[in-house]
A and B are shown apart, each in its own frame.
Chain A
Amino acid sequence: QKEVEQDPGPLSVPEGAIVSLNCTYSNSAFQYFMWYRQYSRKGPELLMYTYSSGNKEDGRFTAQVDKSSKYISLFIRDSQPSDSATYLCAMSGIRWGNNNDMRFGAGTRLTVKP
């Protein structure tokens, strides 16, 4: 069993739809949860960052963490064609830059059709 499971999709939605992206994990030591967005032929860029359980909102994006269920989600409201990308979840036990225990999901490929 992988430490982080993420459905690779692909996921296709019409413009304006609400998108839900999810990951599950097995390591209860994870405390920092991140979502990266990766456009085609580009490196991943950090989109959202959450510590422990709870919700975090940034514009059209909301990240949720449920540590009791070992389940994290990213919601995109009013999706736009420019949101078309691969979304990777990532998590670690301590803040990045101090070690190498960051683990990534496989990434979900999202297409938002005009």
Chain B
Amino acid sequence: GAGVSQSPSNKVTEKGKDVELRCDPISGHTALYWYRQSLGQGLEFLIYFQGNSAPDKSGLPSDRFSAERTGGSVSTLTIQRTQQEDSAVYLCASSPRDTEAFFGQGTRLTVV
């Protein structure tokens, strides 16, 4: 497909386990963003990748969160030792320069 693809769509994990969330951006988009959306809250910025530049990790809430982007394309968000407060929808968006971004459908993470 031509859109941003995220996998899995849903993930249920036990507290303390590690999880990996994947984002396939639109081909050719240089910018990639991860956001977290909790019930009743706006989108919380997590991390931003732009081309080959060093990522902006200023939004990551703790050192349990990390992300990488391989070859300027696919990105993986990793959450180590998950906690219940990590339960949320994790959204990925990609964008070419100077225009709006396109969101994936999100990964709904539930930590039990």
Chain B nearest Cβ from A105, distance in angstroms:
5
**Residues 87-108 of B contacting A (Cβ, < 8 Å):** 91, 93, 95-106, 108
With A44-B91, A46-B100 as known contacts, state yes or no: A97 contacts B30, CB within 8 Å: yes
- Residues of B near A60 (CB, < 8 A) are none
Chain B, residues 5-34, CB within 8 Å of chain A (1/0): the string is 000000000000000000000000011010
With A88-B42, A97-B30, A102-B45 as known contacts, state yes or no: A43 contacts B99, CB within 8 Å: no
Which one of A4, A41, A97, A107 lies within 8 Å of B101 (CB-CB)?
A: A97
Tell me the nearest residue of chain B to A49, going by C-beta: B100
Number of A-B contacts (CB under 8 A): 66
Chain B nearest Cβ from A76, distance in angstroms:
20
Tell me the nearest residue of chain A to B97, going by C-beta: A97
With A43-B105, A100-B48 as known contacts, state yes or no: A106 contacts B99, CB within 8 Å: no
In contact, A88 and B100 (Cβ under 8 angstroms): no
Chain B nearest Cβ from A27, distance in angstroms:
14
Which one of B42, B97, B102 lies within 8 Å of A104 (CB-CB)?
A: B42
* A74 contacts B by Cβ under 8 Å: no
Chain B, residues 68-112, CB within 8 Å of chain A (1/0): the string is 000000000000000000000001010111111111111010000
Q: How far is the CA of A41 from the CA of B105 in the complex (A)?
A: 7
* A66 contacts B by Cβ under 8 Å: no
In contact, A43 and B42 (Cβ under 8 angstroms): no
* B59 contacts A by Cβ under 8 Å: yes
In contact, A96 and B99 (Cβ under 8 angstroms): yes
Q: How far is the CA of A49 from the CA of B108 in the complex (A)?
A: 27
* A68 contacts B by Cβ under 8 Å: no
Chain A interface (Cβ within 8 Å of chain B)? Answer: 2, 4, 6, 8, 34, 41-46, 49, 88, 90, 95-100, 102-107
